[in-house]
Homo-oligomer: A and B are copies of this chain.
């Protein structure tokens, strides 16, 4: 038995694969299964275990991937966005650096316990966080050809996978993750593998559409291969995905920095969009979650009440209430947390968002409306309580403690 972040895990008896499908709103699976695109998943849901679980708010990639591999919410692991206002330095910084991590991962603990561990991510931004402190194989599709034995525990990845390194904006970037997973399992048979894709397809294609169904059919084939190799497989997601447009087809945006600039003067408040990262072409840095830093000593109650009534706003909480409700580290979320509704996103200032890269109606995430995610295991688990609140970060618990 291993104990990590106050949760205990059994050692794997069979090769165990946890898959985080980026942006996998459960309806993607529903529509693909209903129309015959996912025969493996259809059988797995009938014979195994399928739960709709809650992910972590903010419903972004990094906080949720870290929750899955630590088995804990951001209040424990510290990663509450891709992007942070560092009050110590007074600058806005990426949270890619492992220095922001406050908890060890189960992956590192398993490797320390003598288990062979492999991690494949689509984008390189996640790799360093996921692989922090871990002995084993850890590389990204994005930089698969740059993997070295010393840093990534592997070389010659494109040759192993039999695919060229895909473009960072492509469905193939995720396919490479699955293909690599299957080849690693065939040739190295790791004890534990974590695969994490990118939501390029989900940002462009709605559930049930041709583009989405093709992606999920591809995923189904690879998962079927892993299953045939005898793996215990748990599939979950970092967050869902929704259309974020008004009736005119344009992004429906609350420009929150503009709102504060009008309310208390230009630049007095600082609105942070933790969805921001170097890859914003497909969503223009627009998501349904923002944090706000107010001038020191500003009372928050009045803003909470005013913002709460803005059209398209779902909930506005002060630091303490947000930290409690969403299990976030209070020192990293500013004075206010704002969450917009299903069809609405939050921006900073109108002129700071470049939407010229959007070649399809905006789809994005970040809010409570993207909190439902799949939690699927290819084993029947008797006695699961369907009424309790399951989380995506229960995936390793189900896979290691209940499925084998």
Cβ 8 A contact of A247, one of B50, B245, B250, B311: B50
**Which single residue of chain B is at the shortest CB-CB distance from A32?**
B249
Q: Which residues of B contact A250 (CB under 8 A)?
A: 34
CA distance A45 to B249 in the complex (A): 10
Some 8 contacts from A to B, beta carbons below 8 A apart, are A26-B246, A26-B247, A27-B245, A30-B361, A32-B249, A33-B248, A42-B249, A50-B248
Within 236-264 of A, Cβ neighbours of B (below 8 Å) are at 243, 245-250
Q: Which residues of B contact A31 (CB under 8 A)?
A: 206, 243, 245, 249, 361
Q: If A27-B245, A34-B245, A45-B247 touch, does A209 touch B209 (CB 8 Å cutoff)?
A: yes
Number of copies of this protein chain within its complex: 2
| Contact between chains at B387 and A243 (CB < 8 Å) | no
A376 on the B face (CB < 8 A): yes
Interface size on A, residues (CB 8 A): 37
Contact with B along A307-347 (1 / 0, CB 8 A): 00111000000000000000000000000000000010000
Min C-beta distance of A339 to chain B, whole Å: 16
| Contact between chains at B247 and A29 (CB < 8 Å) | yes
Q: Which residues of B contact A360 (CB under 8 A)?
A: 34
Q: Which residues of B contact A246 (CB under 8 A)?
A: 26, 30, 50, 52
Using A27-B243, A35-B249 as known contacts, list a sample of 20 further A-B pairs with CB atoms less than 8 Å apart, ordered by residue number in A: A26-B246, A26-B247, A26-B343, A27-B245, A30-B243, A30-B361, A32-B249, A33-B248, A34-B250, A34-B360, A34-B361, A45-B247, A45-B248, A50-B246, A52-B246, A206-B208, A207-B243, A208-B209, A309-B387, A311-B386
**Which single residue of chain B is at the shortest CB-CB distance from A376?**
B247
Q: Which residues of B contact A34 (CB under 8 A)?
A: 245, 248-250, 360-361
Min C-beta distance of A48 to chain B, whole Å: 11
CA distance A387 to B208 in the complex (A): 34
CA distance A249 to B243 in the complex (A): 20
Q: Which residues of B contact A29 (CB under 8 A)?
A: 247
Q: Which residues of B contact A247 (CB under 8 A)?
A: 26, 29-30, 33, 41, 45, 50, 52, 374, 376
| Contact between chains at B27 and A248 (CB < 8 Å) | no
| Contact between chains at A30 and B248 (CB < 8 Å) | yes
Within 24-71 of A, Cβ neighbours of B (below 8 Å) are at 26-27, 29-35, 41-42, 45-46, 50, 52
CA distance A27 to B361 in the complex (A): 10
Q: Which residues of B contact A27 (CB under 8 A)?
A: 243, 245, 343
Contact with B along A361-399 (1 / 0, CB 8 A): 100000000001010100000000011000000000000
Q: Which residues of B contact A387 (CB under 8 A)?
A: 309-311
**Which single residue of chain B is at the shortest CB-CB distance from A375?**
B247
